């Protein structure tokens, strides 16, 4: 199950690079970034509510990328993130 989102997130251990999560599942996310990510690289993605999670970049095209989480989100965490977005969008 995938959910369209508009989550503001950060990339990197220091969390300096901003990105937007535009699609989310328990197993990964599609990101819009301000700089290209390299396919096969591991990133640290800081998500609202849950904090930092490791993910591997599975594909990258211009300023979009798809990543797979090293550990799947629990159903509860996924629901929390998905509901949080719909709750703020109206």
Q: For residue 75, what is the domain's CATH number? A: 2.40.10.220
Q: What is the pLDDT of residue 82?
A: 87
Q: What is the pLDDT of residue 84?
A: 62
pTM: 0.85
Judge whether 40 and 56 are in contact, CB under 8 Å.
Answer: yes
Range of the domain at 23: 2-89
Q: What is the pLDDT of residue 90?
A: 36
User: In the chain, count of helices (H) and strands (E)?
Assistant: 1, 6
Q: Given the structure tokens 């999670």, which residue do they identify?
A: 53
Judge whether 48 and 9 are in contact, CB under 8 Å.
Answer: yes
Number of domains in the chain: 1
Which residues in the chain come in under a pLDDT of 70?
A: 84-90
Look up residue 84 and give its two tokens. Answer: 């949080």
Q: What is the pLDDT of residue 87?
A: 36
Q: Of the candidates 53, 43, 44, 42, which has an alpha carbon nearest to the alpha carbon of residue 78?
A: 53
DSSP 27: S
Q: What is the pLDDT of residue 86?
A: 37
**pLDDT, tens digit, 9 for 90 and up, residues 28-43:** 999 999 988 999 999 9
């Amino acid at each position: 199950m995938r959910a369209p989102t508009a989550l503001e997130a950060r990339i990197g251990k220091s969390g300096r690079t901003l990105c937007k999560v535009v699609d989310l599942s328990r197993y990964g996310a599609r990101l819009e970034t301000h700089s290209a990510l390299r396919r096969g690289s591991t990133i640290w993605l800081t998500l609202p509510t849950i904090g930092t999670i490791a993910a591997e970049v599975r594909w990258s095209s211009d300023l979009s990328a798809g990543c797979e989480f090293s550990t799947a989100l629990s159903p509860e965490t996924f629901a929390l993130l998905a509901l949080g977005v719909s709750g703020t969008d109206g």
